[in-house]
């Protein structure tokens, strides 16, 4: 199915129409997109684990042999490792140590830093997930059901001059003229996170807004950097998480004409 969308300039005037490449004709598959995003999350997860010698640094001594001097037979005590606090002859004042059930002992099964959290995904499956997410961003019903406020003319493509915008106020002005004013208002308000995350460098939560897709590195990437909720990416670095944050398909996305042409020319994600 060949799909055409309008080509707009930065004043929201129609310049013509653009035929979308075959990457946008994929069936929408939420299960594939979820798998692709989970793979991304697991691959960038930082390994963690306890210190190898934690709880295992005691000088413990207790023999399991019946006739040993420092044995445990005949004293009515369990056979856990013990460290000697004091002694009087063959009578020892000792306390359990090192074993998992003792005070200050090691954990039975601690997390290990050597664990591999990576989750592999087939190359064809990952590309199909990206194509599925691309198809979803062009469906206005899905975009609006996700909570975005898009103009009546959505979806559309914007002219290449948009990539040369170098100031944040100019980017905001263009997005306002294109009809994304309500969307910018929706994402400018941030909320305070509940729980301990406030103390770990992520105090505020910001809603995801418009995704701007450009053809190459340009001034627009820096200009739109500080707009809440807005992300800018080059067309060759698109992934499923950018197109469907939180596993929810249909993020409001604005492509430049050059980005669409590069996708078609280089046959990306096929």
pLDDT, one tens digit per residue, over 92-114 is 899 999 999 999 999 999 999 99
The pLDDT of residue 256 is: 94
Interior angle at CA 3, CA 157 and CA 33, nearest 5? 80
What are the angstrom distances between the C-alpha of 133 and each of 138, 177, 186? 9, 26, 23
- Full set of structural domains in the chain with CATH: 4-45+117-266 (3.40.1370.10), 49-115 (no CATH)
CB burial of 80-89 (b: ≥16 within 10 Å; e: otherwise) equals bebbeeeeee
The pLDDT of residue 61 is: 84
pLDDT band at 70 (very low <50, low <70, confident <90, very high): confident
Quote the DSSP letter at residue 12. Answer: S
Terminal Cα-to-Cα distance of the chain (whole angstroms): 16
The residue-averaged pLDDT of 230-253 equals 94
Place of tokens 């000088």: 59
pLDDT digits (tens, 9 = 90+) for 149-180: 999 999 999 999 999 999 999 999 999 999 99
Is 44 exposed, middle or buried, given 0-12, 13-18 or 19+ CB atoms closer than 10 A?
exposed
The pLDDT of residue 71 is: 84
For 162-210, the DSSP string reads: GGG---HHHHHHHHHHTT-HHHHHHHS-EEEPPSGGGGTT--EEE----
Is 177 exposed, middle or buried, given 0-12, 13-18 or 19+ CB atoms closer than 10 A?
middle
Structure tokens belonging to residue 253 = 């996305």
This prediction's pTM = 0.84
pLDDT band at 39 (very low <50, low <70, confident <90, very high): very high
Residue 2 has pLDDT above 60, yes or no: no
Residue 45 has pLDDT above 80, yes or no: yes
The pLDDT of residue 266 is: 94
Residue 234 has pLDDT above 60, yes or no: yes
């Amino acid at each position: 199915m060949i799909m055409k969308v309008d080509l707009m300039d930065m004043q929201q005037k129609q310049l013509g129409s653009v035929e979308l490449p075959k990457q946008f004709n994929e069936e929408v598959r939420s299960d594939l997109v979820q798998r692709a995003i989970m793979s991304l999350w697991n691959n960038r997860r930082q390994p963690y684990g306890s210190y190898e010698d934690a709880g295992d640094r005691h000088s413990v001594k207790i023999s399991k042999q019946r006739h040993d001097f420092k044995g445990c037979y005949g004293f009515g005590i369990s056979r856990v490792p013990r460290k000697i606090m004091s002694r009087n002859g063959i009578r020892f004042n000792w306390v359990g140590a090192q074993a998992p059930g003792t005070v200050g002992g090691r954990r039975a099964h601690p997390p290990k830093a050597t664990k591999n959290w990576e989750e592999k995904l087939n190359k064809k499956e990952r590309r199909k997930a990206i194509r599925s997410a691309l198809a979803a961003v062009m469906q206005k019903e899905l975009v609006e059901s996700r909570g975005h406020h898009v103009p009546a003319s959505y979806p559309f493509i914007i002219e290449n001059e948009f990539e040369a915008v170098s100031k944040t106020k100019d980017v905001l002005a263009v997005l306002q003229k294109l009809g994304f004013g309500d969307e910018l208002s929706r994402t400018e308000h941030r909320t305070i996170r509940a729980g301990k995350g406030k103390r770990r460098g992520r105090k505020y939560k910001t809603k995801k807004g418009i995704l701007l897709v450009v053809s190459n590195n340009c001034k627009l990437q820096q200009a739109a950097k500080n707009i809440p909720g807005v992300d800018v990416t080059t067309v060759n670095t698109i992934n499923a998480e950018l197109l469907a944050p939180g596993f929810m398909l249909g993020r409001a996305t604005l492509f430049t004409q050059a980005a669409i042409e590069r996708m078609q020319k280089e046959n990306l994600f096929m």
